[in-house]
Structure 1
Amino acid sequence: MTVTSLERLSTLSSRFVPDLVVGELCAELFASLPRSDQRRKGEVYLRGLLQAEGRKSIRNIAAYVGDRAAEQSLHHFVVSSTWDWGRVRAALARYLERALPPQAWVVQPVVISKAGTESVGVDRRFVPELGQMVNSQAAYGVWSVGEEQSCPVNWRLTLSRKWRDSIGPLSPNAGESELASTPLELVAGAVEELRGWVGRTRPVLLDVPDLDPAAVARRFEPSGTHFVAPARGSLRVRCVDAVLPGAANRELAAHQLLLMARTLRRPVSWRDPSTGRPRVSLVVTVRVELPNAPRPQLLFGEWSDPRGWPDQCWVTDMTQAHPGALLRLAKRARQVEADFTNVAQKVGLTDFGGRSFEGWHRHTTLASAAHAVRVLTQRAAEH
Structure 2
Amino acid sequence: MRGQQEQFLEEVLGSLSRRDQRERAERYVRGLLSADGRKSIRNIAACLGLPDEEQRLHHFISGSTWSWDTMRAALAGWVGRVGPPQAWVVQAVTIPKAGEHTVGVDRFFDAQAGQTATGQRAFGAWLANPDVSVPVNWKLYLPQHWLSDDALRIRADIPRTVGYASPEECAADVVADPARMWGTTPRPVLMDLRGHRDWRAMHRLAAAGMPALARISPTTPLVVDDVALQSARSTVRPAGRILGAVGSARRGVEWLDPALPLELSTSQVAAVRVRIPGAAPGLDRSLVLLGEWRADRATPAQVWITHLTDVSPAALLHLTKLTRRVALDAQRGVEQTGARDFVGRSFGGWHRHLTLASTAHAVRLMADRGTGPPHTDRGAGSPHMDRGAGSPHTDRGVGSPHTRASAGAAVT
Q: TM-score, normalised by structure 1?
A: 0.89
User: 1:24: Cα distance to partner?
Assistant: 1.3
Matching residue of 2:128: 145
**Does residue 1:238 correspond to 2:238, yes or no?**
no
Matching residue of 1:314: 304
Matching residue of 2:356: 366
CA distance 1:288–1:132, shift in 2 (3 Å) = closer
**Does residue 1:186 correspond to 2:170, yes or no?**
yes
For 1:64, which of 42, 47, 62 is the aligned residue? Answer: 47
CA distance 1:131–1:264, shift in 2 (3 Å) = closer
User: 1:267: Cα distance to partner?
Assistant: 0.6
CA distance 1:307–1:131, shift in 2 (3 Å) = closer
1: CA distance, partners of 2:188 / 2:2: 33
For 1:375, which of 358, 361, 365 is the aligned residue? Answer: 365
1: CA distance, partners of 2:366 / 2:192: 24
For 1:302, which of 289, 292, 295 is the aligned residue? Answer: 292
1: CA distance, partners of 2:81 / 2:286: 35
Matching residue of 1:212: 197
**Does residue 1:275 correspond to 2:265, yes or no?**
no
Counterpart amino acid of residue 179 in structure 2? R
1: CA distance, partners of 2:57 / 2:122: 24
Matching residue of 2:340: 350
User: 1:217: Cα distance to partner?
Assistant: 4.1
2: CA distance, partners of 1:226 / 1:134: 32
Higher helix share: 1
Identity within the alignment, %: 41
Matching residue of 1:248: 233
Gap runs ≥5 in structure 1: 1-17
**Does residue 1:229 correspond to 2:225, yes or no?**
no
CA distance 1:265–1:171, shift in 2 (3 Å) = same
User: 1:243: Cα distance to partner?
Assistant: 2.0
2: CA distance, partners of 1:209 / 1:252: 16
CA distance 1:287–1:82, shift in 2 (3 Å) = same
2: CA distance, partners of 1:307 / 1:147: 26
CA distance 1:170–1:72, shift in 2 (3 Å) = closer
Stretch of structure 1 that moved more, 197-206 or 243-252: 243-252
Matching residue of 1:261: 246
Stretch of structure 1 that moved more, 242-251 or 252-261: 242-251
User: 1:170: Cα distance to partner?
Assistant: 5.6
Q: TM-score, normalised by structure 2?
A: 0.83
CA distance 1:137–1:23, shift in 2 (3 Å) = same
User: 1:64: Cα distance to partner?
Assistant: 1.5
Counterpart amino acid of residue 39 in structure 1? R
CA RMSD of aligned residues (A): 2.1
CA contact (8 A) 1:207 1:229 kept: yes
1: CA distance, partners of 2:365 / 2:251: 34
CA distance 1:356–1:214, shift in 2 (3 Å) = closer
CA distance 1:133–1:73, shift in 2 (3 Å) = same
Count, aligned residues = 363
User: 1:98: Cα distance to partner?
Assistant: 1.0
Matching residue of 1:27: 10
SS of aligned partner of 1:244: helix
SS of aligned partner of 2:120: strand
User: 1:119: Cα distance to partner?
Assistant: 2.0
Gap runs ≥5 in structure 2: 375-412
For 2:35, which of 52, 76, 83 is the aligned residue? Answer: 52
1: CA distance, partners of 2:12 / 2:34: 19
2: CA distance, partners of 1:349 / 1:375: 15
